[in-house]
Structure 1
Amino acid sequence: MEIVSEKSDLDYREKIQRNIEKIKSDIPDDVTLVAVTKMHTVNETQAVVDAGVYDLGENREQDLMAKKDKIQGPVRWHFIGHLQTNKVKYLVGQVALIHSISSMKLINKVETESEKKDVVTDILLQFNLADEDTKSGFDATELDAAVSRVAQCAHIRLRGLMCIGPMTENSDKIHKIFAQLKQMYDKIKITYKNGDNEIDTLSMGMTNDYPIAVEEGATMIRVGRKIFER
C-alpha cells in the first residue's frame, strides 16, 4: 500500500509540474505567476516550489503562517485574501506583498503595525471595479484619495494595484474591467510621487481569466486551480 501511495504522490507532483509548465508557456517571461496554495497541503505546496514557482499566495493569515516555516526554498509569500484589520499585525514583516488593501482603515492599520515593527510593508490597493457585493475593494472614484493617503505613510510602499475579474463568462466585460485597472495603474505610475516611485505590479487574472489579464497588461497573475488540477 505504501508503494502505491508513494507512486500516486510522485505522479501528482509530476502533474503539478506539467501544469505549471503549461501556464508558463502561456504567459510572457516578465509576468509573475503567483501560485495560490490555499487549501493545499504542505507537500503539494512544496511540489510547486520544487517546480520553480517561488511566489506563493494564501487567502488566510493562519494558513500562511502554518506553512511559512515548513516550505523549503526562496519563497516570497503573498497575502491575497480578504484582510481583516485584526490580522494585519500577523502579516506585517512576514510577507513580501499584501495584495488586498481595500479600505482607508486597512491603510491606516498597516501603517500603524509597520511603524511598531520598524518595517516598510509593500502593498497593492485592491479595487472592486465590477461593483460586486461579494468582493472587497475601493471604487474607481477613490483612486486619488487612497493613493494620497498611502503617500503620507512612511512605513508603506505602494507597489501597484489589484482586482478580481467579474463573475461572468462574457469576455468583453472581463476585458473592460482589466483595461480600466490598467489605465488607473498607468496613471499612478506617472503621477504618484511625481513618478519617483516603485510601482511595478498590476495583479489581475486567475485560472479562468488570466489570458485576458495578460492581454490587458497584467504583470502578475494569481492561479490556483489550474496548477493543482489532477
Structure 2
Amino acid sequence: MIAKNLQFIKSSLPKSVTLVAVSKTKPVSDLQEAYNAGQRVFGENKIQEMVDKFTILPKDIQWHMIGHLQSNKVKYMAHFVNLIHGVDKFKTLKEINKQAKKHDRVINCLLQIRIAKEDTKFGFSFTEIETILTSKEISELENIKIVGFMGMATFTDNQEQLKEEFSSLKSFFDKNKTQTVTANCQLETLSMGMSGDYKLAIENGSTMIRVGSSIFGNRNYN
C-alpha cells in the first residue's frame, strides 16, 4: 500500500516539486518499503527517532528535520541531516552553524515564516526575516546555508484562506529571491503544503511538500 500511495502522489507532482515523506512515528519497515519504491527524502520531527533510523537505513537517504527544533538537540544530527525546515530563532541558526563547523559541513536551512492565523504556529514574521537576511550577523555564519522558506498554513477547510496564506509566502519568497546577496543565502526552496493541502500549495508556488498520512496512513501516537 505504501508503494502504491507513493506512486499515486508522485505521478501528479510537477518535476520541480520535491516530496518529503513524513515518516515520524513510523517503523523502519515502513520507511524501507518506501525506500524500495524509490523514495529517498524522509522527514522526522524528533531528533532521536531520526538518529535511530539513520543508523539502520541506507545511507543515500536525505534526512529532513521538520519539527520544532530545540537548540540543544542540534548536535545529535549535525553530522548527517540534509535540511532543517523549521528554523524560527536566530540563536538556533548560530547553534546549527556551530555544530556544522565541528563536522566540517555546511547545513542547509529553511527559515520558518508564520503565515497561519492560528496563535500556536511557530515562525518569524516577514519583517523579522528581512532584518535577518540583511544583517551582518547572518553573513558571518559560514557553516549554514539558507536555501529557502517554510510555512504552515492554518488548519482549516477554507480554501480561500489557505490560498491567501500560501500566496503571501510565495510573493515574499519571490521578492527576497531577487534581492538576497549574502553568500550563505540562496533562496531556491519554498516548503509549504502537507497531506491535506499540498495540491493547493503547489498551485500557489510550493517547491517542496511534506506528506505523511497520505503515504503511510494515520500517524501512530505513542
TM-score of the superposed pair, with normalisation by structure 1: 0.88
Equivalent residue number for residue 8 of structure 1: none
Do the aligned residues in 2 keep the contact of 1:110 with 1:156 (CA within 8 Å)? yes
Q: CA RMSD in A?
A: 1.8
- Post-superposition CA distance 1:25-69 (Å, at most 9, x none): 221122110000001000001111111110000000001001002
Equivalent residue number for residue 166 of structure 2: 178
One of 178, 182, 187 as aligned partner of 1:190: 178
| Distance change >3 Å, CA 117–CA 73, structure 1 → 2 | closer
Give 1:189's aligned amino acid.
Answer: K
Q: Within 5 Å, give how 1:41-120 maps onto structure 2.
A: 41-72=27-58, 74-120=60-106
| Distance change >3 Å, CA 139–CA 122, structure 1 → 2 | same
Query: Which stretch shows the higher mean deviation, 104-113 or 172-181?
Result: 104-113
How far has the Cα of 1:151 moved from its partner?
2.9
- Post-superposition CA distance 1:86-107 (Å, at most 9, x none): 1111122311100110111211
One of 178, 196, 204 as aligned partner of 1:208: 196
CA distance, structure 2, for counterparts of residue 72 and residue 196 of structure 1? 29
Give 1:95's aligned amino acid.
Answer: V
Task: Give the unaligned 5+ runs of structure 2.
Answer: none
Matched, 1:224 2:212: yes
CA distance, structure 1, for counterparts of residue 213 and residue 22 of structure 2? 8
- Post-superposition CA distance 1:144-193 (Å, at most 9, x none): 12223433311111110001111111011111111111112112211111
Do the aligned residues in 2 keep the contact of 1:110 with 1:121 (CA within 8 Å)? yes
How far has the Cα of 1:136 moved from its partner?
1.1
CA distance, structure 1, for counterparts of residue 155 and residue 188 of structure 2? 26
Give 1:41's aligned amino acid.
Answer: P
Equivalent residue number for residue 128 of structure 2: 142
Matched, 1:32 2:18: yes
Give 1:211's aligned amino acid.
Answer: K
Do the aligned residues in 2 keep the contact of 1:20 with 1:227 (CA within 8 Å)? yes
> What number of residue pairs does the alignment pair up?
216
Task: Give the unaligned 5+ runs of structure 1.
Answer: 1-14
Which of the pair is proportionally richer in helix? 1
CA distance, structure 2, for counterparts of residue 23 and residue 144 of structure 1? 34
SS in 2 for 1:157: strand
How far has the Cα of 1:74 moved from its partner?
2.0
Q: Percent identity, aligned pairs only?
A: 39
| Distance change >3 Å, CA 39–CA 186, structure 1 → 2 | same
Do the aligned residues in 2 keep the contact of 1:160 with 1:199 (CA within 8 Å)? yes
TM-score of the superposed pair, with normalisation by structure 2: 0.91
